[in-house]
Structure 1
Amino acid sequence: MFDEDERLARQEAHWLIKEFGAEAPLYAAMKAEKAIEQKDFGRCARWKRILEILADGRTTKSAGSKY
């Protein structure tokens, strides 16, 4: 079972894959970079976690089977 932050990060990763396909990690990286520029390190950490989920590969496989 995941905490709320992890659940939201996984949900966002699934949405990114659905919307952007192979470009999902690039989109997440751009969002993380923008958060750093704005010195919003909490948001940056969330996008970094989303990037980790996207890189994991399990998300890609499960998203591909769901959509």
Structure 2
Amino acid sequence: MFDDNERLARQEAHWLIKEFGAEAPLYAAMKAEKAIEQKDFGRCARWKRILEILADSRSTKSAVSKY
């Protein structure tokens, strides 16, 4: 079972993929950078987790498409 933070990060990642497609990681990286500029490290950590989820989903899709 996921905690609320993980569940929200996964929902956000799913929404980003739906809205931005291949550009989703770029959007998340920009949001993380803005959070760093504002010294909001909690929000930055959330966006970093979203980037990890997006990377995992991309690597999973590419691994599946090889078969």
Q: TM-score, normalised by structure 1?
A: 0.86
Name the larger-Rg structure: 2
CA distance in 1 between partners of 2:65 and 2:15 (Å): 14
Does the aligned pair in 2 maintain the 1:53–1:59 contact within 8 Å?
no
What is the alpha-carbon root mean square deviation over aligned residues?
Answer: 4.2
Are the structure 2 counterparts of residues 29 and 63 from structure 1 closer, same or farther at C-alpha, using a change threshold of 3 Å? farther
User: Deviation of residue 65 (structure 1)?
Assistant: 13
User: Deviation of residue 58 (structure 1)?
Assistant: 6.5
CA distance in 1 between partners of 2:58 and 2:24 (Å): 14
Are the structure 2 counterparts of residues 53 and 31 from structure 1 closer, same or farther at C-alpha, using a change threshold of 3 Å? same
Q: Using CA pairs under 8 Å that are at least 6 residues apart, name the structure with larger relative contact order, 1 or 2.
A: 1
Runs of 4+ deviating beyond 2 Å: 58-67
Are the structure 2 counterparts of residues 11 and 18 from structure 1 closer, same or farther at C-alpha, using a change threshold of 3 Å? same
Deviates more, 1:31-40 or 1:51-60: 51-60
Aligned length in residues = 67
Aligned sequence identity (%): 93
Are the structure 2 counterparts of residues 42 and 12 from structure 1 closer, same or farther at C-alpha, using a change threshold of 3 Å? same
The DSSP-based 3-state class of the residue aligned with 1:2 is coil
Are the structure 2 counterparts of residues 54 and 32 from structure 1 closer, same or farther at C-alpha, using a change threshold of 3 Å? same
